[in-house]
């Protein structure tokens, strides 16, 4: 078949094939937006306040079962103290009472997924989870108490450990650009090691209040 005889067939193909480009094109009404926020809360096990800041992104077309999906990175901060004691024997076979006191700071850094949906009016519900690492820095004082002598050593140490969290709560839209939220988190930390001994930081519950801005 000569090339010029193919021309009518090529011109007729759109009539049979429809408009496939329009079918595969992404929706034109998807709106991407950024958000940033901060919160303050209370840790029930450490009995200390915790502060967080976060920055994330969402899209009006990111939906799962009616829940809007948001992704955000978060940094937190809290500090506390820890102490333990033991009965030991030194290199000269002398018995002593050992005590360790630690003042430590925790800085968790996590990547999180948040699902949020409207409940009624300006009231929304949210749930989510996150994974990351936590930097735990410690100032330690180790005391060995003998019958007639007390020795004290001071030093600092730090460790990076795995951390994870799940969270849920309610948010209220004050305007299109601002919302307040309150909820609870369960936070897990792997045990750090300081001075050759591990510390049971334990999982913890955080109850928090915060605000978030969209831009």
List the Cα angle 162/167/170 in 5-degree steps: 160
Domain boundaries, the chain: 31-214
Half-sphere exposure of 140 (CA within 13 A, CB side): 22
Tell me the pLDDT of the chain averaged across its residues: 87
Confidence at residue 83, expressed as pLDDT on a 0 to 100 scale? 86
- Distance in angstroms (rounded) separating the CA atoms of residues 76 and 210: 13
In this prediction, residue 128 has a pLDDT band, given cuts at 50, 70 and 90, of very high
| pLDDT score, position 28 | 59
**Mean pLDDT throughout 115-142?**
95
- Whole-angstrom distance, CA of residue 65 vs CA of residue 74: 25
Share of the chain above pLDDT 70, in %: 87
pTM of the model: 0.77
CATH number 2.60.40.10 given to 31-214: no
Mean pLDDT for 154-168 is 95
State pLDDT tens for residues 15-58: 434 444 444 444 558 889 999 999 999 999 999 999 999 999 99
């Amino acid at each position: 078949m000569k090339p010029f005889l193919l021309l009518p067939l090529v011109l007729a193909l759109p009539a049979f094939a429809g408009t496939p480009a329009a079918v595969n094109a992404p929706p034109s009404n998807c709106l991407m937006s950024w958000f940033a926020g901060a919160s303050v809360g209370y840790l029930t096990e450490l009995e200390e306040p915790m502060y967080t800041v976060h920055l994330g992104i969402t899209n009006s077309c990111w939906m799962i079962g009616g829940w809007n999906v948001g992704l955000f990175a978060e940094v937190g901060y809290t500090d506390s103290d820890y102490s333990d004691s033991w009965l030991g024997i030194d290199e000269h076979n002398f018995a002593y009472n050992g005590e360790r006191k630690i003042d430590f700071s925790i800085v968790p850094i996590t990547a999180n997924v948040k699902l949020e949906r409207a409940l009624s009016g300006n009231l929304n519900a949210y749930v989510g989870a996150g994974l990351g690492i936590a930097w735990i820095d410690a100032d330690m004082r180790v005391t060995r108490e003998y019958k007639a002598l007390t020795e004290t050593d001071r030093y600092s140490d730090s460790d990076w450990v795995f951390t994870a969290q799940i969270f849920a709560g309610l948010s209220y839209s004050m305007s299109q650009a601002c919302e307040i939220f309150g909820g609870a988190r369960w936070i897990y930390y792997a045990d750090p090691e300081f001075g050759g001994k591990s510390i049971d930081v334990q999982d913890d519950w955080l109850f928090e209040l915060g605000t978030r801005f969209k831009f």
